[in-house]
């Protein structure tokens, strides 16, 4: 794979769920030929729908695992071990780059099932990838070459941004921050909407205002040269309305609550890895 780039790379997806479908859609939008993409799934109806909408190839995973340059493992964590063991022969012969997007499955787990010399990238995407606004953490084991790493990054960046971590344990932190993170923001928006309705606004107005405010705040933070603390302070005039709201958050222990929540998610990510990795 030393001379490969994304344009001449054959990619096989094992699993045709929402995340795999989003990655395929994103790859096609970059100009990838659908003929270079293969997909397998136990749900034939889902597989046929994806093939019809995207014009990609469908086949058994054993068939394309033997020839694909890249295999994206997009099955549920509980099914990962069985899927890998079914493909061990093909993967050990073909030696494709393996990209796993399953939560809780470590690179060591995959190497134990597929072969210790397997090139493995573990990725933790999040649900905004469904609309091309995802954030993915990536970890590569020592067998992954520079060109393979570039291909893995290009595949994941078809649905958003991606960042590399040097140690696999940091994927648990990525999971806690961005993997689970959308739900934190959804909860906050939900709470604001309910508060707005209690203040007398209609549910429709509460929804429009909260969504657009969240979107605008995120886009302002991304585009600004100021850090997030400065942006907050810029909106918080002394003696003003925002200051009163911020004081209520601070007095209610919001910062500690957020820290506790993210740490709880990180701990659970570690636990899941231990559970899924058991023989």
> Does residue 1 have a pLDDT over 70?
no
**pLDDT reported for residue 259:** 98
pLDDT digits (tens, 9 = 90+) for 171-213: 999 999 999 999 999 999 999 999 999 999 999 999 999 999 9
Residues 99 and 23: beta-carbon distance below 8 Å: no
Q: Are 189 and 181 in contact (CB under 8 A)?
A: no
Residue 223 predicted with pLDDT over 70: yes
pLDDT for the residue 2: 42
Q: Are 67 and 236 in contact (CB under 8 A)?
A: no
Reported confidence tier of residue 279, pLDDT bands at 50, 70, 90: low
Of the chain, the percentage scoring pLDDT greater than 90 comes to 91
E strand or H helix at 72, and its extent?
strand 70-73
Identify the band that residue 149 occupies on the pLDDT scale cut at 50, 70 and 90.
very high
C-alpha count within 13 angstroms, C-beta hemisphere, residue 176: 20
pLDDT exceeds 50 at position 258: yes
Q: Among the CATH numbers 3.40.50.300, 3.20.20.10, 3.40.50.360, 3.40.50.720, which is that of 6-166?
A: 3.40.50.720
> What number of other Cβ atoms are within 10 A of residue 61's Cβ?
24
- pLDDT score at 273: 87
pLDDT at 32 over 80: yes
**pLDDT value at position 7?**
81
State pLDDT tens for residues 5-26: 788 899 999 999 999 999 999 9
Q: Which segment of 150-164, 172-186, 265-279 scores lowest on mean pLDDT?
A: 265-279
Q: Domain spans of the chain?
A: 6-166, 181-271
36-54, pLDDT tens digit by residue? 999 999 999 989 999 899 9
Cβ atoms of residues 99 and 72 within 8 Å? yes
The alpha-helical segments, DSSP class H, found in 55-180 are 61-65, 77-94, 107-114, 146-156, 170-174
Q: Higher-confidence residue: 4 or 60? A: 60
Tell me the average pLDDT across 152-167. 96
Note the pLDDT tens digit of each residue in 93-117: 999 999 999 988 999 999 999 999 9
Identify the CATH class of 181-271: mainly alpha
């Amino acid at each position: 794979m030393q001379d490969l780039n994304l344009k001449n790379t054959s990619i096989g997806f094992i699993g045709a769920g929402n995340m795999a479908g989003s990655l395929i859609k994103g790859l096609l939008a970059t100009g990838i030929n659908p003929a270079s993409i293969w997909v397998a799934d136990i749900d034939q109806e889902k597989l046929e729908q994806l093939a019809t909408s995207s014009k990609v190839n469908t086949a058994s995973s054993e068939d394309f695992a033997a020839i694909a340059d890249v295999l994206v493992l997009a099955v549920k964590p509980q099914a990962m071990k069985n899927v890998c063991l079914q493909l061990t022969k093909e993967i050990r012969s073909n030696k494709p780059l393996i990209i796993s997007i399953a939560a809780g499955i470590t690179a060591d787990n995959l190497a134990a099932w597929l072969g210790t010399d397997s090139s493995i990238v573990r990725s933790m995407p999040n649900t905004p990838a469904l609309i091309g606004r995802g954030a993915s953490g990536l970890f590569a084991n020592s067998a992954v070459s520079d060109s393979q790493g570039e291909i893995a990054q290009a595949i994941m960046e078809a649905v958003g941004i991606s960042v590399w971590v040097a140690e696999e344990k940091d994927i648990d932190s990525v999971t806690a921050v961005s993997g689970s993170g959308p739900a934190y923001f959804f909860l906050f928006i939900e709470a604001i909407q309910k508060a707005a309705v209690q203040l007398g606004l209609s549910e429709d107005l509460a929804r429009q205002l909260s969504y657009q405010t969240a979107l605008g705040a995120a886009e302002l933070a991304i585009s600004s040269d100021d850090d997030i603390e400065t942006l907050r302070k810029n909106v918080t005039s002394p003696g003003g309305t925002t200051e009163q709201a911020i004081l209520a958050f601070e007095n209610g222990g919001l910062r500690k609550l957020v820290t506790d929540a993210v740490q709880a998610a990180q701990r659970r990510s570690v636990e899941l890895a231990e559970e899924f990795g058991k023989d």
